[in-house]
Every structure is written in C-alpha cells, then in structure tokens.
Amino acid sequence: MDLPIIDLDLFLTKPHDSLEVKAECQKAAKALITYGALVLHDSRVSESDNTSFLDLLEDYFAQPEEDLKRDERPELSYQIGVTLENTEKPKCAVDEPCLKVIERLAPDQRPLDITAHDPDPKCRFFWKMVENPPYETKFPGLNAANIVPDAEHIKTRWESTMNQWGSSMKNAVEGLTEMLAVGLQLPEETFRSAGRYGPHLLAPTASDLTKHGAKDTILAGFHTDLNFLTIHGRSRYPGLHIWARNTGRRIPVKIPPGNHLLVQAGKQLEHITGGLIKAGFHEVVVNEATIGVIEKRKQEFPDRPLVRISSTFFWHLSSDYDLAPIESCVQKARELRAEQFNLGRDEGDEVVYEPMKVGEQVQSELKHIALMA
C-alpha cells in the first residue's frame, strides 16, 4: 500500500518551529490532499489494546439479536448504542454526484456494484468519547449519553476497554489535526479547537462472516464518512478498499503492524477546506484475502466468533460550530482543480460549500443513509 506514513512522534517530541516538524506537517497535508488518506505512526498506540477491543466486540456481536436490540436507539438516529444489520444504506447507491464519481473511474478500478444494493449487512456500535460543552447544544440528539450493554461477561470489561482504545485513537487523531493545520499554514489549534466538544465516536462495525462470508459480498457499500477525520486500527480481516483522489486507483488497505493507524478525510474536512481535501471514498467487501483469513481463523481459533470487527473512530467538529470554508484553502482548492483539469482528470461539477452548523450537516447526511427520518 503506497500511502504516505506520517510520524506523529516527531510532532510530539520536537520543537514545532523546527524544519523537520514543519516538513512532516506539510507531508501530512499533502497526503490528505492527494490521497484523502494516510498512515499515522504513533508510538503511544498499543497493539494489545486493539486486541482486547476486537475480542470484546466479537463477544458482544456474537450475542442473540434480541439481546443486541436492547441497545438500539432509533429515536436518537442510532447515534449511540447499536445499529443492527440491514439498517444503514450506502448513500452512493442513489446519490447522483457519487454515481458520477464511480462512472469516472476506470472499469477495473470501480467498487462492487451498489446500484441494486440493499442496506448494508453490517452492525455497528457507537460509543461517545466527548468533552461536554459548557453551553447548551442545539443538537442534543447528537450528544446523548452512552449505553453500556447488560450481559455480565461483557459489562465488566466494556467501559475500560472502550475508553482505553478509544482514547488512544482520539489522542492520535487530535495530534494529526494540529499537524494538518500547520501543513495548511493555519494556526495550529484551528481544527482541534473547532472539534473540542465534538460528538466523537468509537464506532466498531461488525459483519457476521458465517452469514455474509461469500466472495464479493458487500459489507459496507462505496461511501465517504460524514465526520472530519476517521481513524482505524487494524482489523483481523482484510476487505477495506480506499480510492486515491489523484489516480482513481482502488487500494486494498494493509495497516503496518505495530504503532500504526489509518486515517481518512471526511465530509466536514472537505467542507471546511472548500474541497482542497476531498472526503475519501471506501468500501468493505469480502475478497479472496478475507476468505483466506476466515479459513485460518477457523483452524487456529475454532471457539472464537467469526465476526469481522472494524476498529474505527469518527472524530467530529463540535455540533454547534459554524462550518464554512476557510478562504486560503478555497483559493488553493481552485488552483488544484485547475491543475487536475489540465492533467485530464475531471473532478465533476464544482461543489458549493454553504455555511451551516456542523449539526445541520450531520443531520443532512444521516437522512441520506437512512439513520434519521
């Protein structure tokens, strides 16, 4: 996988005005502009924390559906607790600009066909990792309290495991927001302060591979994320593909072992940079590599549930923050668009990023994916 690796350790340990740190920050910004994604190295991240997290979530999603349903909150647009399979729809299945993105890709680089795709056969759990704002939010439904599952063998491990791994990913991505701001020649705190009270979500996704383990099954259809940055730890099962903005190539994700995380740009980052950084398209499917790992897990861990858990964290801007493009980024976005056009890369119709509250942007996106009425 040819994504750039960004060293957060440099930023955390060296003077921020040093040439070395500035160069690494510029590299981070360039990676997100070029690919919509990067690999982040952070030596504070522990593989054992990710392992404990994956074990816990496999056990949770192996429970009977009636037990899972107790943790469902459709009245809160599924923004806390569990979302069961066949609930969330890939926005791109009916979204015209998104379908045009697929059309512009070379036929051999396109995602699996989602035009007739039903809602995704994946489950999800949302666990908030927030600092409560010192003001009354206009979007209480997006900022509701967490749910702890009832089952004793899960409950006793739940909060400590979720908070430990969630904090690792949150700390990593917040460091990256500062690097990105520096790389874009903005004040270091620009994005971090805008997201201080964001409804950040540790958001593991689960796919039952005993039911949905056939080759070319779409577990999560081609889409972008609605938040600011998405950060992933390593899953036990391959199948995540991302698309590089600069080439339109489909890239199978392989996060290096050790202290590495995958980061992708989301819609809030696209909006605030006026399209200079585009939200990264991705899908999760069952491919030959997935099937190989399924067979290996069956032999090596016959007593473990065959559930693919994505180790995912959604970092948001604060719901009440005024989301509007930053003018210096808008100018660079125009220049980049012209460059791309001159290279024969059509990026489609120019997007107008209207000013709005972040909470309004989130609610609009949730309606598109059938999580909000």
Core vs surface per residue 265-294: b (16+ CB within 10 A) or e = bbbbbbbbbbbbbbbbbbbbbbbeebbebb
Instruction: Tell me the average pLDDT across 306-326.
Output: 96
Farthest CA pair distance, the chain: 61
pLDDT in tens, 131-154: 989 999 898 877 788 999 999 999
Instruction: For residue 126, give the 3-state DSSP assignment.
Output: strand
Is pLDDT at 345 greater than 80 in this prediction?
Answer: no
What is the DSSP secondary-structure string of 254-311? -PPSSSEEEEEE-HHHHHHTTTSSPPPPEEEE--HHHHHHHHHHHHH-TTS--EEEE-
Residue 340: CB atoms within 10 Å: 14
**pLDDT the model gives residue 117:** 59
**pLDDT the model gives residue 1:** 59
**pLDDT the model gives residue 2:** 77
pLDDT in tens, 24-34: 999 999 999 99
307 or 256, higher pLDDT: 307
Average pLDDT, the chain: 92
What is the DSSP secondary-structure string of 176-224? HHHHHHHHTTS-TTHHHHHTTT---EE--EEEETTTS-STT-EEEEEE-
**pLDDT the model gives residue 79:** 86
**pLDDT the model gives residue 329:** 97
- CA count, 13 A, side-chain hemisphere, 125: 27
Residue 187: CB atoms within 10 Å: 11
Is pLDDT at 88 greater than 90 in this prediction?
Answer: no
List the structure tokens of 288. Answer: 């030959």
Is pLDDT at 295 greater than 60 in this prediction?
Answer: yes
Percentage of residues in the chain with pLDDT exceeding 90? 74
pLDDT in tens, 191-234: 999 999 999 999 999 999 999 999 999 999 899 999 999 999 99
Q: Which residue has the tokens 């949770």?
A: 60
Taking CA 54 as the corner, what is the angle to CA 130 and CA 239, rounded to the nearest 5 degrees?
105
Asked whether 200 and 316 are in contact (CB, 8 A), the reply is: yes
Residue 344: band (very low, low, confident or very high) from pLDDT cuts 50, 70, 90: confident
For CA atoms 44, 47, 49, 50, give the dihedral sign: positive
Residue 121: band (very low, low, confident or very high) from pLDDT cuts 50, 70, 90: confident
Residue 20: CB atoms within 10 Å: 12
List the structure tokens of 250. Answer: 């489909």
**pLDDT the model gives residue 343:** 80
236 or 245, higher pLDDT: 236
Nearest 5°: phi and psi at 200? -65, 145
What is the DSSP secondary-structure string of 75-108? GGTT-SEEE-TT-PPPGGGT-HHHHHHHHHS-GG
Percentage of residues in the chain with pLDDT exceeding 70? 97
pTM of the model: 0.93
Residue 86: band (very low, low, confident or very high) from pLDDT cuts 50, 70, 90: confident
Instruction: Tell me the average pLDDT across 89-110.
Output: 83
